[in-house]
Amino acid sequence: MRTTLSATALGLAAVLLSGCGGDGKDSAKAPSSPAPTAPATKPASTEANGLDGTWKPINTSPIATLKITGNTVRTTGRLACPGTVTGTGTGTGTKKPVLTLKCATENPDRKRGTLKLKPDGSALVVSWDGPAWGGLIDSLKRAG
């Protein structure tokens, strides 16, 4: 009895599956659907890398906020000045993003630094250039 039911079930499944293949016409003659196209890529920018936004330090820093919009930077606080972010491409071999501040009164400890974004985009680390052993580090979280 079990063998009969199994054979019947397999036969029914085969009939149902064969009916899902089309409308009975020769599928070789049917026009193929166009291949999906890749979405247009944006030019390299900080937005593509998740850097855009306002950031607040979680450590002691003369920077109250760091605002990144595209490749433009603005800091507030005791170290309030404009700057730029470069090296933000998304291709292979791309350099790490570099932040350069252009302050009227330079801060030798926070002039140029490499940016590293946490994978989930919630935190940003600025490793400032310094002596051979390394410079200062600012850890920031997204504001608001």
The whole-angstrom separation of Cα 92 and Cα 105 is: 36
Q: Tell me the Cα Rg of the chain.
A: 29
Residue holding tokens 């390299």? 44
Tell me the whole-structure pTM to 2 decimals.
0.64
What pLDDT score does 13 carry?
45
What pLDDT score does 134 carry?
84
The pLDDT of residue 131 is above 50 = yes
Query: pLDDT of 32-87, one tens digit each?
Result: 545 544 444 334 445 557 899 999 999 999 999 999 999 999 999 999 999 999 98
Query: pLDDT of 17-35, one tens digit each?
Result: 444 454 555 545 544 545 5
Of 23 and 141, the one with more pLDDT: 141
What pLDDT score does 49 carry?
72
Classify 57 as helix, strand or coil: strand
Query: pLDDT of 92-116, one tens digit each?
Result: 555 789 999 999 988 999 999 999 9
* Element counts in the chain: helices (H) and strands (E): 1, 8
What pLDDT score does 106 carry?
85
The whole-angstrom separation of Cα 17 and Cα 14 is: 5
Classify 8 as helix, strand or coil: helix
Give the type of residue at 8. Answer: T
Q: For the chain, give the longest Cα–Cα distance.
A: 92
The whole-angstrom separation of Cα 121 and Cα 22 is: 46
Give, for 84, the enclosing helix (H) or strand (E).
Answer: strand 82-86
The whole-angstrom separation of Cα 21 and Cα 23 is: 7
